[in-house]
Amino acid sequence: MSEKEEPRVGVYTCHCGGNISDVVRCERVMTALKKLDNVVVSRTDMSMCSDAGQAMVEADIAEYGLNRIVIGACSPSLHEQTFRGTVARAGLNPYLYHHVGIREQNSWVHKDDREGATQKAIRLMAAGIAKARLLDPLEPIRLSAKRHALIIGGGIAGLRAAWDIARRGIQVTLIEKSPFLGGHMAQLESVFPTGEAARGTLHDLIDKVTGHPNVTIHTRAELVGMSGYVGDYQATIRQQSRGIKEGFTGIDKLIENCPLEVPDEFNYGLTKRKAIYTAYPGCYPPTPAVDWENCNKCGDCLKSLNGERGLISLENEPHDFDLTVGAVVVATGFRLYEPAQGEYGYGEFPEVITLAQLIRLLALNGEKELVWNGRTVHNLAFIHCVGSRQIDGINEPQPDGQVNNYCSRVCCTATLHAANELRERFPAINLYDFYEDIRTYGRGHEEYYTEASKNMVRFLRFHDDELPRVTPDPYANGTGALLVTAKDYLTWGQEIDAPVDLVVLATGVMPNPIDDIIKLLKVSPGTDRFLLEVHPKLRPVETAVPGVVLAGTAQGPMNIQESCAAASAAAAKVAVLLGQGRVELEPFVAHVDPDRCDGTGECVTVCAYEDAIILAGVNGATKAVVTPANCAGCGSCVSACPNQAIDLQGWSLSQYEAMLDAIASDSLPVVA
């Protein structure tokens, strides 16, 4: 559009299927807006986002020569991109369009005042028209993009994302902080609801990832530095020494020679391992690793080793290396809630364990009977929601002062899955299930509850403010048996004592502590401490940082199927972003008028984004210079500049002033 061309505005008020028109009198809004300067077309439609609604806009642009479009509809986060595409298809610059949210900002909050809502809609739309008159055609920020993705985390989500990205022809570097791949899935025996062997399924994926030529894997590696912007991130990776080089063959003898034993985290402390170890038989990488926190460097492991001594070093020598990547996938996983000392007797009574420990106990235990601490288990109780759905004042907070008030989602089905396995393997065991609510939400999960009921699992329901109590059984005669006492609201609140030999706490999940990554990537955690997506439905795996996406339980509690689905979604986003070797960003960034800028640096002082705005020499003078790829368009610099030398493209001060004038105007058309 020529700069001298008069604005010709098309205005459209959407009924939103009644969401707006049930409150706002849309026909009156349409009629009032027709009377405003530069408005050529004013219409309403039942659903502007429909194909018919979009076609109407395209036809009007062609027929009436419209060069500005204003649409009043639902939230811009839902359909602003939709209508930009409509405008672009009609041959108009997509940034000559303005979206007014008259559903969330008007009809939904003024349901009891139709007249007031109608007048407010007129003013909001008039403000949109006032801004539209001053819109300039903009172009997206176009950047070259490195066809290389960094994945942080080597659990099931990180592996799935790596596989999906790599087979689209994009290079992948996967870093895993621990010495071995697989995460928590490696500690499971089977996967619900399919019943597949967990490690078999996991190893199939590991084989695909490690065998793909586009994938490079670094274990014992973590992100320690990050700069740049989408398409051109410079990452610094720090990798700890493994201690044993690839190709070493005397693994068994090496581990046998190590005199030091520590609790084995793979079995949640039920067994011990050496300070030189592999996670489990068949793990990847197969090469052992030295546990630097516990190794005392005694050298006993080297005894009786001859020609291969050169493949072992008992000194940790971390080294840093740099990568240039176009995008980052955060797949940092979760950790299990650790019950507080004394919570349901945990840490006080050896007979109180977690569900994760039970799963490993079942894997280690024989088939004839379940044995704990040398005694056969005849009676067992599960307690749900340990570390989930907590309440202030009842449950102990975490170190940050917050309780875990969210549902961990996977615990109920995992508990029922374990209960059914116990019933199948040890039919004589009496099983009690103390629950607050059963939430078997996934497809096929409810069948576990049905099966458990048929298997005579005794369900007892407690209230969240009357938690079960675990105490020693006074009639146990030193056997270690316990009593679980609770009011059962399936039997009118009757208090019931269940004598048991083992109490299993179904612990929830929490995000891994990744404050360093949050700071480096500038991503945001939610109130539950998991990483926050832009929009749970429209942009479910994207963060507010361009080029940084989420995969799996870094984002919230998920089961394995959900983690894989989220990882594939993240991979699809990365593939679309980097597939063409270039990226496009919104042009709503700061712009400096060099004639007004005198280089005070106030803008640099208030800017929260690294290298978004700097002072540099321009034609022999010091001026503020914006790097569009780093600018978030927050406007802090605009407010700080003493000379009004900075403005935001697409949201300039003059546009804001025009909108305010329109909203406050006493001369808006009145339509009865």
Specify which residues 460 forms β-bridges with.
434
Q: What is residue 1's predicted lDDT score, i.e. its pLDDT?
A: 45
- Spatial distance between the Cα atoms of 269 and 271, rounded to a whole number of angstroms: 5
Per-residue pLDDT at 478 exceeds 80: no
- Spatial distance between the Cα atoms of 524 and 531, rounded to a whole number of angstroms: 6
Interval 573-590 mean pLDDT: 92
Per-residue pLDDT at 311 exceeds 90: no
Residue with more model confidence, 358 or 77: 358
- Spatial distance between the Cα atoms of 103 and 111, rounded to a whole number of angstroms: 11
CATH architecture of the domain covering 9-138: 3-Layer(aba) Sandwich (3.40)
Per-residue pLDDT at 526 exceeds 90: yes
Per-residue pLDDT at 303 exceeds 80: no
Q: Are 583 and 230 in contact (CB under 8 A)?
A: yes
- Spatial distance between the Cα atoms of 242 and 225, rounded to a whole number of angstroms: 21
CATH architecture of the domain covering 586-649: 2-Layer Sandwich (3.30)
Q: What is residue 367's predicted lDDT score, i.e. its pLDDT?
A: 74
Could you tell me which of 160, 155, 157 has the C-alpha nearest to residue 184? 155
Per-residue pLDDT at 110 exceeds 90: yes
Per-residue pLDDT at 332 exceeds 70: yes
Average pLDDT, the chain: 94
Interval 281-295 mean pLDDT: 94
Q: Where are the beta strands (DSSP E) in 208-318?
A: 215-219, 221-229, 232-239, 261-263, 272-274, 276-277, 289-290
Question: Hey, where are the domains in the chain?
Answer: 9-138, 148-240+318-333+512-582, 251-311, 335-510, 586-649
**Which amino acid is located at 68 in the chain?**
R
Could you tell me which of 86, 85, 78, 16 has the C-alpha nearest to residue 56? 86
Helix (H) / strand (E) element for 323: namely strand 319-325
pTM over 0.85? The answer is yes
CATH architecture of the domain covering 335-510: 3-Layer(bba) Sandwich (3.50)
**Which amino acid is located at 27 in the chain?**
E
Query: Would you tell me how many other CB atoms lie within 10 Å of the CB of residue 420?
Result: 20
Q: What is residue 4's predicted lDDT score, i.e. its pLDDT?
A: 63
Per-residue pLDDT at 2 exceeds 50: no
CATH topology match: 9-138 vs 148-240+318-333+512-582: no
Give whole-number Cα distances, 382 to 95, 262, 354, 494, 507, in Å. 58, 28, 9, 19, 10
Least confident residue range of 126-130, 277-281, 496-500, 615-619: 615-619
SS3 476: coil
Q: What is residue 469's predicted lDDT score, i.e. its pLDDT?
A: 97
Q: Are 490 and 459 in contact (CB under 8 A)?
A: yes
**205 backbone φψ class: left, alpha, beta (φ>0; ψ -120 to 50):** alpha
Per-residue pLDDT at 254 exceeds 90: no
- Spatial distance between the Cα atoms of 284 and 154, rounded to a whole number of angstroms: 11
Written as six digits, the tokens of 4 are 């001298």
Per-residue pLDDT at 308 exceeds 70: no
Interval 50-62 mean pLDDT: 97
Per-residue pLDDT at 154 exceeds 50: yes
Span 602-656, pLDDT tens digits:
999 999 888 899 999 888 899 999 999 889 899 999 999 999 999 999 999 999 9
**Confidence band, pLDDT 50/70/90 cuts, at residue 592:** very high
The percent of residues in the chain predicted with pLDDT above 70, rounded, is 99
Per-residue pLDDT at 463 exceeds 70: yes
Q: 114-120 long-range CB contacts below 8 Å, 24 or more apart?
A: 114/23, 114/24, 114/25, 117/23, 117/24, 118/24, 118/25, 118/28, 118/29
Look up the CATH number of domain 148-240+318-333+512-582. 3.50.50.60
